Structure 1
Amino acid sequence: MRNSEKVFCRADGKVITDYREAIVIGLAPGGIAITWVTGPCLKPIEVSRTQATVDPRGPYEGKSNGHYRPLTDISKAYVEKFGIPYESW
Protein backbone atom coordinates (compact mmCIF):
# COMPACT_ATOMS: atom_id res chain seq x y z
CA MET A 1 0.00 0.00 0.00
CA ARG A 2 3.02 2.26 0.36
CA ASN A 3 4.61 1.64 -3.05
CA SER A 4 3.10 2.75 -6.31
CA GLU A 5 3.02 0.39 -9.30
CA LYS A 6 2.77 0.95 -13.02
CA VAL A 7 -0.03 -1.16 -14.43
CA PHE A 8 -2.10 -1.43 -17.61
CA CYS A 9 -5.70 -0.52 -16.82
CA ARG A 10 -8.19 -2.27 -19.08
CA ALA A 11 -10.95 0.18 -18.11
CA ASP A 12 -9.43 3.03 -20.13
CA GLY A 13 -6.61 1.27 -22.01
CA LYS A 14 -3.85 3.35 -20.38
CA VAL A 15 -0.79 2.56 -18.30
CA ILE A 16 -1.23 4.22 -14.93
CA THR A 17 0.70 4.49 -11.68
CA ASP A 18 -1.51 3.54 -8.76
CA TYR A 19 -1.50 2.27 -5.19
CA ARG A 20 -3.23 -0.61 -3.50
CA GLU A 21 -5.83 1.08 -1.35
CA ALA A 22 -8.29 -1.53 -0.15
CA ILE A 23 -8.29 -4.51 2.15
CA VAL A 24 -10.85 -7.20 1.29
CA ILE A 25 -11.89 -10.02 3.61
CA GLY A 26 -13.58 -13.00 1.99
CA LEU A 27 -15.46 -15.65 3.95
CA ALA A 28 -15.68 -19.16 2.53
CA PRO A 29 -17.61 -22.25 3.61
CA GLY A 30 -15.94 -24.31 6.31
CA GLY A 31 -14.86 -21.30 8.37
CA ILE A 32 -12.08 -20.00 6.11
CA ALA A 33 -11.34 -16.27 5.96
CA ILE A 34 -8.97 -14.88 3.32
CA THR A 35 -7.59 -11.34 3.25
CA TRP A 36 -6.34 -9.53 0.15
CA VAL A 37 -4.88 -6.08 -0.43
CA THR A 38 -5.94 -4.59 -3.77
CA GLY A 39 -6.54 -1.43 -5.76
CA PRO A 40 -8.01 -0.23 -9.03
CA CYS A 41 -6.46 -2.04 -12.01
CA LEU A 42 -4.05 -3.93 -9.71
CA LYS A 43 -4.11 -7.67 -9.11
CA PRO A 44 -5.01 -8.53 -5.52
CA ILE A 45 -2.29 -9.92 -3.25
CA GLU A 46 -3.34 -12.55 -0.71
CA VAL A 47 -2.17 -11.43 2.71
CA SER A 48 -3.57 -14.10 4.99
CA ARG A 49 -5.68 -17.26 5.08
CA THR A 50 -7.19 -18.33 8.38
CA GLN A 51 -9.20 -21.35 9.53
CA ALA A 52 -11.81 -20.52 12.17
CA THR A 53 -12.40 -22.78 15.13
CA VAL A 54 -15.49 -23.43 17.20
CA ASP A 55 -15.43 -21.73 20.58
CA PRO A 56 -15.67 -24.60 23.08
CA ARG A 57 -17.51 -22.39 25.56
CA GLY A 58 -20.56 -22.35 23.28
CA PRO A 59 -23.05 -19.52 22.92
CA TYR A 60 -22.95 -16.51 25.23
CA GLU A 61 -19.36 -17.27 26.25
CA GLY A 62 -20.42 -20.36 28.18
CA LYS A 63 -22.97 -18.60 30.36
CA SER A 64 -25.95 -20.58 29.00
CA ASN A 65 -24.81 -24.20 29.50
CA GLY A 66 -24.30 -24.68 25.74
CA HIS A 67 -27.81 -23.62 24.74
CA TYR A 68 -29.09 -20.62 22.85
CA ARG A 69 -31.65 -18.49 24.62
CA PRO A 70 -35.23 -18.97 23.43
CA LEU A 71 -36.63 -16.52 20.88
CA THR A 72 -38.93 -13.75 22.03
CA ASP A 73 -42.59 -14.23 21.12
CA ILE A 74 -42.32 -11.53 18.42
CA SER A 75 -39.21 -13.11 16.86
CA LYS A 76 -40.71 -16.59 17.02
CA ALA A 77 -43.92 -15.43 15.29
CA TYR A 78 -41.87 -13.74 12.53
CA VAL A 79 -39.73 -16.85 11.88
CA GLU A 80 -42.80 -19.09 11.84
CA LYS A 81 -44.53 -16.77 9.35
CA PHE A 82 -41.61 -15.90 7.02
CA GLY A 83 -38.90 -18.46 7.77
CA ILE A 84 -35.20 -17.60 7.92
CA PRO A 85 -33.97 -15.85 4.72
CA TYR A 86 -30.69 -17.74 4.33
CA GLU A 87 -30.31 -16.72 0.69
CA SER A 88 -30.14 -13.04 1.64
CA TRP A 89 -27.10 -13.44 3.89
Structure 2
Amino acid sequence: APGGIAKAWIMGPCLPPVEVTRVQGSVVRVGPYDGTSGGKHRPLTETSKAYIEKFGIPYGSW
Protein backbone atom coordinates (compact mmCIF):
# COMPACT_ATOMS: atom_id res chain seq x y z
CA ALA A 1 0.00 0.00 0.00
CA PRO A 2 1.40 3.44 -0.85
CA GLY A 3 2.96 4.94 2.24
CA GLY A 4 2.60 1.64 4.07
CA ILE A 5 5.41 -0.31 5.66
CA ALA A 6 6.36 -3.90 4.85
CA LYS A 7 8.67 -6.05 6.93
CA ALA A 8 10.29 -9.40 6.18
CA TRP A 9 11.32 -11.81 8.91
CA ILE A 10 13.30 -15.05 9.05
CA MET A 11 11.96 -17.55 11.58
CA GLY A 12 12.54 -21.19 12.35
CA PRO A 13 11.91 -23.81 15.03
CA CYS A 14 15.31 -23.16 16.65
CA LEU A 15 15.70 -19.53 15.60
CA PRO A 16 14.12 -16.48 17.16
CA PRO A 17 12.43 -14.10 14.68
CA VAL A 18 14.99 -11.89 12.92
CA GLU A 19 13.83 -8.86 10.95
CA VAL A 20 15.77 -8.81 7.68
CA THR A 21 14.25 -5.78 5.97
CA ARG A 22 11.80 -2.93 6.51
CA VAL A 23 10.65 -0.86 3.54
CA GLN A 24 8.13 1.92 2.99
CA GLY A 25 5.93 2.09 -0.10
CA SER A 26 5.56 5.16 -2.28
CA VAL A 27 3.17 6.38 -4.95
CA VAL A 28 4.36 5.86 -8.52
CA ARG A 29 3.39 9.08 -10.30
CA VAL A 30 3.06 7.56 -13.80
CA GLY A 31 0.16 5.44 -12.55
CA PRO A 32 -0.59 1.79 -13.14
CA TYR A 33 1.02 -0.08 -16.02
CA ASP A 34 3.82 2.51 -16.33
CA GLY A 35 1.40 5.17 -17.55
CA THR A 36 0.09 3.16 -20.52
CA SER A 37 -3.49 2.94 -19.19
CA GLY A 38 -4.33 6.62 -18.73
CA GLY A 39 -4.18 6.35 -14.94
CA LYS A 40 -6.88 3.65 -14.80
CA HIS A 41 -6.60 0.04 -13.70
CA ARG A 42 -7.55 -2.48 -16.33
CA PRO A 43 -10.76 -4.50 -15.85
CA LEU A 44 -10.54 -7.79 -13.97
CA THR A 45 -10.46 -11.04 -15.90
CA GLU A 46 -13.55 -13.23 -15.56
CA THR A 47 -11.50 -15.70 -13.47
CA SER A 48 -10.36 -12.99 -11.05
CA LYS A 49 -13.85 -11.52 -10.83
CA ALA A 50 -15.36 -14.94 -10.02
CA TYR A 51 -12.74 -15.55 -7.30
CA ILE A 52 -13.42 -12.18 -5.63
CA GLU A 53 -17.17 -12.71 -5.79
CA LYS A 54 -16.77 -16.13 -4.14
CA PHE A 55 -14.06 -15.39 -1.53
CA GLY A 56 -13.86 -11.58 -1.29
CA ILE A 57 -10.68 -9.51 -1.49
CA PRO A 58 -7.90 -11.30 0.44
CA TYR A 59 -6.58 -8.27 2.37
CA GLY A 60 -5.06 -10.40 5.13
CA SER A 61 -2.80 -12.21 2.66
CA TRP A 62 -0.91 -9.11 1.56
Distance 1:87 1:37 in 2: 23
Which of the two has higher C-alpha Rg?
1
RMSD: 3.1
Q: For structure 1, which runs of at least 5 residues remain unmatched after alignment?
A: 1-27
Question: As a proportion of its length, which structure holds more helix?
Answer: 2
| Structure 1 consecutive aligned stretches of length 4 or more whose deviation exceeds 6 Å | none
SS of 2:30's equivalent in the other structure is coil
Instruction: Kindly indicate whether residue 40 of structure 2 is the aligned counterpart of residue 67 of structure 1.
Output: yes
Change (3 A) 1:33 1:58: same
Change (3 A) 1:84 1:40: closer
- Determine the structure 2 residue equivalent to 1:15: none
Identity of aligned residues (%): 46
Q: For structure 2, which runs of at least 5 residues remain unmatched after alignment?
A: none
Instruction: Kindly indicate whether residue 25 of structure 2 is the aligned counterpart of residue 52 of structure 1.
Output: yes
The Cα of 1:63 is off from its aligned counterpart by: 0.6
Question: As a proportion of its length, which structure holds more strand?
Answer: 1
Higher relative contact order (CA 8 A, sep 6+): 2
Instruction: Kindly indicate whether residue 60 of structure 2 is the aligned counterpart of residue 85 of structure 1.
Output: no
Distance 1:71 1:38 in 2: 35
* TM-score of the two chains, using structure 1 as the length reference: 0.45
SS of 1:61's equivalent in the other structure is helix
Change (3 A) 1:84 1:57: farther
